[in-house]
Amino acid sequence: MNTTSFELAVLRPAPGDATDVPVAEVRGEVDISNAAQLRGSLAGLATGGLVVDLSEVGYFDSAGFAVLDLLIGEGVLAVVVAPGSVVRTAMTLMDLPFHDTVDAARAALSRG
C-alpha cells in the first residue's frame, strides 16, 4: 500500500456478557492523512467503552494521539501499549494515560 493505512482487528465480547468491552487492535500506520478515518472507526466502536491496543501498531504519530486524546477525554477509551515502545514514550510526552495489558485497560474502563 503506497498511502498510509491501518487495520482494526476487533475482539468483541461474548454475547450476553454485559461487563466486557470490545478490544480493537490497531495494525499498520496512522498519520495525519488517515487519522480522521481512525476517529470514525473508533468512535463507532467506543459507545459503551473500548480498549485500543497499540502493541502491534507499525507507526502512530501525533495525529493519531490527538484522536485518542479526544476519546479518552470522553471517558470511552483505554489504551494498551507495548513496554519499551516508542508509542509508550510518546503517550507519556502527550500526557495521555495508558496500560500495560488489555486486562488493566478493561479494569480502568469499568472503574469509570
Partner 1 sequence: MLLLYTDGLIERRGEPIDAGLAGPEGYADDVAMVAVRPCGTTATSHVDTLPAAFSEMAAARRRLGGWLRRLVPDQEQADRILLCAGEALVNAIEHGSDRDPDRAVTIEAFAEPDAVTVSISDTGGWAKDSGAGRAEHRGRGLTLIHGLADRVETARASQGTRVTITCRRPLPDSTLPDSTGRAPVTVQQ
Choose between 20 and 31: whose C-beta lies nearer to partner 1.
31
How large is the C-alpha radius of gyration of the chain? 13
What is the phi-psi region of residue 84: left when phi exceeds 0, alpha when psi lies from -120 to 50, beta otherwise?
Answer: left
Q: Does 65 bind partner 1 (CB under 8 A)?
A: yes
- Please, what is the minimum distance in Å from the beta carbon of residue 16 to partner 1? 40
**Of 23, 26, 29, 109, which lies in the binding site for partner 1, with binding defined by CB under 8 A?**
29
**Of 40, 86, 100, 101, which lies in the binding site for partner 1, with binding defined by CB under 8 A?**
86
**Of 3, 19, 44, 112, which lies in the binding site for partner 1, with binding defined by CB under 8 A?**
3
C-alpha–C-alpha distance, residues 13 and 36, integer Å: 26
C-alpha–C-alpha distance, residues 21 and 62, integer Å: 26
CA distances from 9 to 39, 53, 74, 89 (A): 15, 9, 22, 23
Choose between 77 and 81: whose C-beta lies nearer to partner 1.
81
**Of 9, 10, 94, 107, which lies in the binding site for partner 1, with binding defined by CB under 8 A?**
94
Q: Residue 96: which of 62, 53, 65, 50 has the closest Cα?
A: 65
* Contacts to partner 1 by CB under 8 A: 1-5, 29, 31-33, 59, 61-63, 65-66, 84-86, 89-90, 93-94
